[in-house]
Structure 1
Amino acid sequence: MTRFDDTVTMPTTRPAGCPFDPPTDLAALRDEQPLRPMLYPDGHRGWLATGHAAVRAVLADRRFSSRTELMHSPVPREGMDGPLPSSPPGMFINTDAPEHTRYRGLLTGAFTVRRMRLLAERVDEVTREHLDAMQRQGPSADLVTAFAQPIPALMICELLGAPYSDRDFFLEHTAVFNDFEATAEQQAASVTAFGGFLHDLVLAKRAAPTDDLLSDLTRTDLTVEELTNVAFLLLGAGLDTTANMIALGAFALLTTPDQVALLHADPERSVEELLRYLSIAHTMVRVALEDVELDGRLIRAGDTVTLSVEAGNRDPAKFPEPDRLDLGRRATGHLSFGHGIHQCLGQQLARVELRVALPALFTRFPSLRLAVAPQDVPLRSGVDILGAHRLPVTWDAP
């Protein structure tokens, strides 16, 4: 954190030995001023919101835009020294109403709470299959590759009708998309490879539809480009976020074993607390479309506002003792899926997967423990989505 009188730069340094905590300076900034001026890497002077109420207010206010071409990046990105590039047609999370409404309306029916609950049986089946495989190959494993990645990969592939055999290809490229430190060339190559694959898949679905979401969408008025980018967004988001949430959720529980009984007692409440505590999608960005007064500050039209979800989710004004993982807590109102019209479309699928996978893991392996010291678990850094590269675990063989 660098101060320029009242203005700061984005804190990014996380505390050593505290793998689940936000950058230390975020809490101090939030306690001083939950909304304050911020200097961006390209010289833009915008805002940083760290308080729960301030972050939620911006997300709920349609006077703030999600269009990337209006934004400035809160962290340095190679080749981006000004506003970010515009998103292509179909990348609907980076659009505003009415365009956003059109795309979301076509997809909402596929992600209802009822439909996701119907998928719970399939999630349970997939989870048991991977636990069986771990047990056969054990008594040790990398929980990321053996468990956390394949379950959401299979579920989103089945939902969209994408071939599960290509999951390693998907995972490789989604990791590059979310890496701040990847070069512009690396990101462009991944976008090209991933987009090309999905373009061919869309054409195949148009020619011979099957029983899946992508085939359903080919019957709408969306163009091939729009369909490709919708698939890009859903497949990329559905893989990376839930996979890392399962891995970090397991890691957090392995370091607080007293919480596992609470997980078994109430998986729904437990998952909400894990979502709040970990805040893996830690930062969001919006741009003011007009002058907006918020928290006693005047945000001018064109100002970029960086929203620290992780600081908001650790705000003591909203959650008592926020830095403590407490699976008995009612974490209602957390911001991990966003808020407002852009709230995560796939949140119910993610919840189902987490509520099934995590209790099943600790039920099958009650002696599950880390195979390395917590500080030796290699975590992802400099990324949009927090997670672990590997999570070595072991358990007592029967």
Structure 2
Amino acid sequence: MPPKKVVKEEKIPLGRPGNNLKSGIVGLANVGKSTLFQAITKCSLGNPANFPYATIDPEESRVIVPDDRYDWLCEHYNPKSRVPAHLTIYDIAGLTRGASTGAGLGNAFLSHIRAVDAIFQVVRCFDDAEIIHVEGDVDPVRDLEIISEELRIKDIEFTEKALEALGKQTRRGGQSLEMKKLKEEEATVGKILALLKDGKDIRHQHWTPKEVEVINPLFLLTAKPVVYLTNLSERDYLRQKNKHLPKVVEWIKTNSPGEPILPISIALEERLSRIETEAEVEEECKKIGGKSALPKCVTTMRKALDLGCFFTTGTDEVRQWTIRNGTKAPQAAGVIHGDFEKTFIQAIVYNFNLLKELKTEAEIKAQGKIMTKGKDYVVEDGDIVLIKAGAAKA
């Protein structure tokens, strides 16, 4: 008999299934977070200062997602209105050792992380006597350990409170379905607590759909996907060498397997962000033999959040809509307008790649390749969609 085909079990993504997901820039004080935020958002919100806690309230901005498909569609249709996809980014105050017990900005900082869906973790890998390090010297592995431990300690506190609250309810006893559900929740929260106390992060474990339903409302810090940004000097970034990097890579492989690590020079990004025109930026990048890492930061974070997109197109407007991968047509319609989800009839669909290949919608129609899809259709990344919906009830 032929061997049984092994079906790879898909890991269920944690977090909100929403389409307007947020990323926070996190790290110890003075590692370059606010400077990165200003470069990535082309904003100048306050001055990055050379002392801890220069950022107290999280600054927020929306960043355009770079996408060649969107650019091609705008060129193809030359629409009156162009609306690209965005990623919302927060600059969060610097963390310090002991934040979980209230040190520095402590609890305020950690509550700001709870409000985001994913984390850009900035790790300082550059030496500069002019920029103080909150721990006294540059040691990125120690910094990674501090952040990892602080987030886990705070999660233990959240989980213990949740377990205590569930315990009060289950002690009442009884055989009702509600009580059975509460006991299952209590068992899951107990399992979470044991893993955290064992030094494990929640996002690295495999969870059942029922367990995910219990985890998501806890807003655990270690459940959020992480993209690691190693902040190098401009010289190290351009020559792609740094004495700290091998140890950082090793730590991430061991403690956060599979999570992306992107080298970046925030000093270079800040310098490029001050150049007036895109042509001058391109010229400068050619001169130094390097390029900005910011577009890759944004696209990597979208991937970490499991986000895709679909397009609505025409001469009036080309718009890119953000959805979580796996979203069905009625929910995708709801991203355009809440009423469309309720009154969804069908979706007329073809993929961007087909349009690029055949050049016109007329040619796609002529070849019979435009699809009419119902409520069970899962919208694919890059689909061009026309939604048909009924009139909303008054």
For Structure 1 versus Structure 2, the TM-score category normalised by the shorter chain is: under 0.3
More strand by proportion, 1 or 2? 2
**TM-score, normalisation: structure 2:** 0.22
**TM-score, with structure 1 as normaliser:** 0.22
Between structures 1 and 2, the one with greater helix share: 1
Of the two structures, which has the highest relative contact order with CA contacts closer than 8 Å and spacing of 6 or more?
Answer: 1
